Amino acid sequence: MQTYISTTPFGRRTMTLGQIASQATARAMPEEAIANKWHVFQHIREARELLGATDRSLAILNALLSFHRETELAATGELIVWPSNEQLIARANGISPATLRRHLAILVECGLIIRRDSPNGKRFARRSRAGEIEQAYGFDLSPIVARAAEFRDMAEAVQLEKKAFRAARERLTLLRRDIIKMIDAGIEEGVPGNWGKVLQSYQTVISRLPRTASRQLIEDICVDLHGLHSEIHDALETFAKTQNISANESHFERHIQNSKPDSISESKQSSRNKKEASGSVAEIDNVRSLPKRDLPLSIVLDACPNVRDVAQTGEIRHWRDFLAAAELIRTMLGVSPSAWAEAGEAMGEVQAAIALAAIYQRADQINTAGGYLRSLTDKAREGKFSTWPMVMALLRARLDASKPRQMPENTRSESGSGLEVSGSLLKSLRKRKL
């Protein structure tokens, strides 16, 4: 008896070119082709994103494969299974009939199975008197055998892509960590350089990174970060070598100076006489009388709260965030790059940023921010400038403007602004005001 193999689906389901291509691939597979259905299913599961399959559709495919008794599927064997919807639902963890139909269609569109529908759409098999299957209507598993090598290659490609993606993310994490810590080291150690601009460049690169990024985008960002990393590392390494050379030279000079102790005292006395003659000794002593420790970041932010509005992240937790905000303030105030570079060279990067933040806080009272910064830079070169008085004056102005109500002696706070000042600092401010 001659049998006919259907090529079109039953009912309103339409035929697509993809289905025709899947059927052609199944017909073209060699007769000796054989595949382990569970090994192929593992490859399909790994490559499901490339195939367009979903988790639910793979659960249904797993159920379909379980209806075939053999583990090794051969091209010459019977590859059609005909389970009912009730049986499929039971083996697919109890999904709804509508979900079953939708995901069966996905398996067909992905070319993982082929529909072999009967004239009335029912699934069944017709057997001979000897018990052999003469005609079966259901789902053809031929693509599992015909495309086994293709699925394996796709799974390997996915694994390689995952490995490359993981390596790219690791590289990105290491570069970000190294750059941030090297910038912190440069700021803390007083390494010459425009660290505010470096931070702004870093933030510009990182801002291109979305929450979920492709491997290509991550690698492109890594290339930009690697260039920035090399520049920062070279600057720190050069400064470290310079410091070592200076330390060796100063050690050698101390031996020479110790051989002529009189010349040292004479030099100091002469220098002191010149300062007294010029009338600058009072100003220098006034600067020296200020605290020797650096200004805490919290006090600077209390004195210059407007800086927080400029920060790109909306908050300032470290000095590097403060320097990045200062770089933005420079452009907003119209301070030239040369004036900013000279201020950083004379005062130090952090002190110049504090001075600029103080200028920004009083922007309505200063006509030319660049000129004012240059005057402060000239004073800093002569040793007559410190950021302590500027910050203390701003704090005192905020305290005077707030008019705090009576509170315990050890603490005063500014209503609504969150400004808290210790008793000792408050006494210091009052003393300077008097």
* pLDDT one-digit tens code per residue, 344-371: 888 888 889 999 999 999 888 888 888 8
258 located within any domain: no
CA distances from 245 to 234, 249, 254, 371 (A): 17, 6, 14, 36
For residue 341, how far is the Cα from the chain centroid?
29
In this structure, are 126 and 220 located in the same domain?
A: no
In this structure, are 287 and 394 located in the same domain?
A: yes
Of 336, 322, 344, nearest in space to 369 by CA: 336
412 located within any domain: yes
Q: Is 75 strand, coil or helix?
A: coil
Q: Which of 138-142, 164-168, 274-278 has the lowest mean pLDDT?
A: 274-278
Percent of the chain with pLDDT over 90: 24
1 located within any domain: no
Query: What DSSP assignment string belongs to 159-183?
Result: HHHHHHHHHHHHHHHHHHHHHHHHH
Name the residue with higher pLDDT: 414 or 399.
399
Query: Residue 168: what pLDDT?
Result: 94
In this structure, are 364 and 316 located in the same domain?
A: yes
In this structure, are 142 and 177 located in the same domain?
A: no
Q: Return the half-sphere exposure (C-beta side, CA atoms, 13 A cut-off) of residue 279.
A: 0
6 located within any domain: no
Residue 166 has pLDDT above 90, yes or no: yes
Q: What is the rounded average pLDDT for all residues in the chain? A: 79
In this structure, are 190 and 329 located in the same domain?
A: no
In this structure, are 291 and 415 located in the same domain?
A: yes
Query: What DSSP assignment string belongs to 319-377?
Result: HHHHHHHHHHHHHHHT--HHHHHHHHHHH-HHHHHHHHHHHHHTGGG-S-HHHHHHHHH
Query: Residue 12: what pLDDT?
Result: 61
Q: Which domain holds residue 291?
A: 283-433
Q: Which of 12-26, 364-378, 380-394 has the lowest mean pLDDT?
A: 12-26
Of 20, 33, 36, 145, nearest in space to 80 by CA: 145
Residue 19 has pLDDT above 80, yes or no: no
177 located within any domain: yes
Residue that is last in its domain, among 229, 252, 275: 252
In this structure, are 47 and 117 located in the same domain?
A: yes
CATH number of the domain within which 27 lies: 1.10.10
Residue that is last in its domain, among 89, 118, 146: 146
pLDDT digits (tens, 9 = 90+) for 269-313: 444 444 444 444 445 455 555 665 678 888 888 888 888 888 876
- Rg of the chain over Cα atoms, rounded to whole angstroms, equals 39
- Full-model pTM: 0.57
Number of domains composing the chain: 3
44 located within any domain: yes
Residue that is last in its domain, among 146, 178, 202: 146
In this structure, are 186 and 241 located in the same domain?
A: yes
In this structure, are 130 and 51 located in the same domain?
A: yes
Q: 322 and 300 in contact (C-beta within 8 Å)?
A: yes
